[in-house]
A and B are shown apart, each in its own frame.
Chain A
């Protein structure tokens, strides 16, 4: 099992590393110095990369490697195309590392099992596809309201129902947001490469532990089964966050206390802290409540702990966007077709650029607001009939045109289709 970094130390460490150049202090750095530093850093980075052997992995395999690096100790699931390889590989890796793998009777119980494991203090995950994800929705809501960290991987295939098992799709974007009932916020990440399947799985565990909430990793069939060469990051390059545990004596412990961080420390069952967990709206002691002020406070805290931390949670990558008049907003495998189309468009003199959300939910609202203010049109290609495009339209708010580009025949959108759209708009 992975290293036991205390939550706070891990956080601090990360902060120092990520500190931007300008925040260091008032010292003026000459261009040459800057260049030299960049060069050295690049060389060091390459050296680090070279020292680790390259591996050819699929997205699903990289997801497993990421989960192991993040410290997963428990998997419960039911095999389903195109997510099966995640269960298959973890069924070998987890027992070998002292972890637990259970093949459950269905996805309802799979979700219940990982919640149970997480309550006992173990990092837990499951992996499924559309039909299984539908069955998980009820218990997904439970893990939200009871604030149980866990990671749910959904490798999207064509739906509804059993749909087209082996075809890629992006049809579950809205289900990931609103599939479970009731008012809630949720974190959903979407990788577009094998390397990112690794890094975003680690991130999913970290966010889940930090904010005590389920995190959904939305892959699509292309990314899940695509094989690419990657250099797995070393342990020191893989910051791991572990949930904050209570430091007060058990009799003082208030499991759902409203702390300044909005995330109460979480005791594991068996640690000596006895408390009540329920899917009913509860007071700070974990017992059901019907008091108006307590209901409101509880639901608002669940929302705020995610919405107020958008800065850390929402990740967006922009490329070739500074002078762009046409933006393509794309995620997952489609973003790779989009990037190809943009490179081609640029070669014919069209000023196109790519904005790619790695975080789908919470939706990158600020990114779209800024984008809409400086481009003429945003093209939104998706392997569905238009899901994330509604959010783009909402935040663009008429400041620029928003053009959907949709495909639902089980094939990945091609660069030519996107290029055609770029040339036409």
Chain B
């Protein structure tokens, strides 16, 4: 039966996972905003988290489709971002066969390695620390997604970030976005 195929048609599924406090839900929201508001596309974002204020596995699901989105959760991610070890263990095994997996290098040991996957390890936390604050590692990752995953344009993502962050942090966040984007662009060039 062709259900699996039908399930995937016209749908692109992105899962961002990490621990509470890493800005996972915010990243999902920014990605959703970039697609829906700044590209006038169609996307639905949901989140999953634990009762802890910080720590604990946490994920944000973004479903993109040209058609009406019924089921709002990601079933099999086409793009999986893992920002922390626990998330990698929980969500790593479940991806599409040809998924792109983005791994936050320093905080993840269990790197998904199924054949068919395209895996990038990115020093997102290190880049963020170099820029001044580890807290923008999520924005570095958004830059990397923009460069490598072909889900959203540079301009839309930039607008969405500016639209979602606290006033006064524009410079830091844009630097983080740019650093992530550049890193992704270089990775792509190296591949070719």
Closest beta carbon of chain B to A10's beta carbon, Å: 32
Nearest chain B residue, comparing its CB with the CB of A345: B3
Roughly how many angstroms separate A221 CA and B32 CA in the complex, as a whole number?
19
A229 contacts B72, CB within 8 Å? no
Chain B residues whose CB sits within 8 angstroms of the CB of A55 once the complex forms:
37
| A149 lies within 8 A of chain B by Cβ | no
Chain B residues whose CB sits within 8 angstroms of the CB of A336 once the complex forms:
70-72
Chain B residues whose CB sits within 8 angstroms of the CB of A165 once the complex forms:
51
Roughly how many angstroms separate A352 CA and B182 CA in the complex, as a whole number?
49
Q: Residues of B with Cβ closer than 8 Å to A?
A: 1-3, 6-7, 29, 32-33, 36-37, 40, 42-51, 69-73, 75
| A374 lies within 8 A of chain B by Cβ | no
Nearest chain B residue, comparing its CB with the CB of A228: B44
Chain B residues whose CB sits within 8 angstroms of the CB of A229 once the complex forms:
36-37, 42-43
B32 contacts A56, CB within 8 Å? yes
B72 contacts A222, CB within 8 Å? yes
Chain B residues whose CB sits within 8 angstroms of the CB of A333 once the complex forms:
72
A225 contacts B46, CB within 8 Å? yes
Roughly how many angstroms separate A343 CA and B11 CA in the complex, as a whole number?
14
| A340 lies within 8 A of chain B by Cβ | yes
CB neighbors of B among A324-369 (8 A): 333, 336-337, 339-340, 343-344, 347-348
Roughly how many angstroms separate A395 CA and B3 CA in the complex, as a whole number?
33
Selecting from A63-71, A267-275, A302-310, A412-420, the interface stretch reads A412-420
Nearest chain B residue, comparing its CB with the CB of A55: B37
B71 contacts A81, CB within 8 Å? no
Q: How large is the interface on A (under 10, 10 to 19, 20 to 34, 35 or more residues)?
A: 20 to 34
Closest beta carbon of chain B to A348's beta carbon, Å: 6
Roughly how many angstroms separate A228 CA and B137 CA in the complex, as a whole number?
25
Chain A residues whose CB sits within 8 angstroms of the CB of B50 once the complex forms:
166
A348 contacts B1, CB within 8 Å? yes
A226 contacts B45, CB within 8 Å? yes
A226 contacts B40, CB within 8 Å? no
Chain B residues whose CB sits within 8 angstroms of the CB of A340 once the complex forms:
70-71
Roughly how many angstroms separate A347 CA and B7 CA in the complex, as a whole number?
11
Chain A residues whose CB sits within 8 angstroms of the CB of B69 once the complex forms:
228
Chain A residues whose CB sits within 8 angstroms of the CB of B45 once the complex forms:
56, 226-228
Roughly how many angstroms separate A348 CA and B6 CA in the complex, as a whole number?
10
Known: A347-B6, A419-B3. A226 touches B72 (CB 8 A): yes
Roughly how many angstroms separate A318 CA and B146 CA in the complex, as a whole number?
40
Closest beta carbon of chain B to A11's beta carbon, Å: 33
| A54 lies within 8 A of chain B by Cβ | yes
B6 contacts A166, CB within 8 Å? no
Chain A residues whose CB sits within 8 angstroms of the CB of B6 once the complex forms:
344, 347
Q: Which of B1, B2, B3, B37 contacts A54 (CB 8 A)?
A: B37
Nearest chain B residue, comparing its CB with the CB of A229: B36
Roughly how many angstroms separate A418 CA and B103 CA in the complex, as a whole number?
33
Roughly how many angstroms separate A165 CA and B51 CA in the complex, as a whole number?
6
B3 contacts A344, CB within 8 Å? yes
Roughly how many angstroms separate A212 CA and B72 CA in the complex, as a whole number?
36
Closest beta carbon of chain A to B157's beta carbon, Å: 14
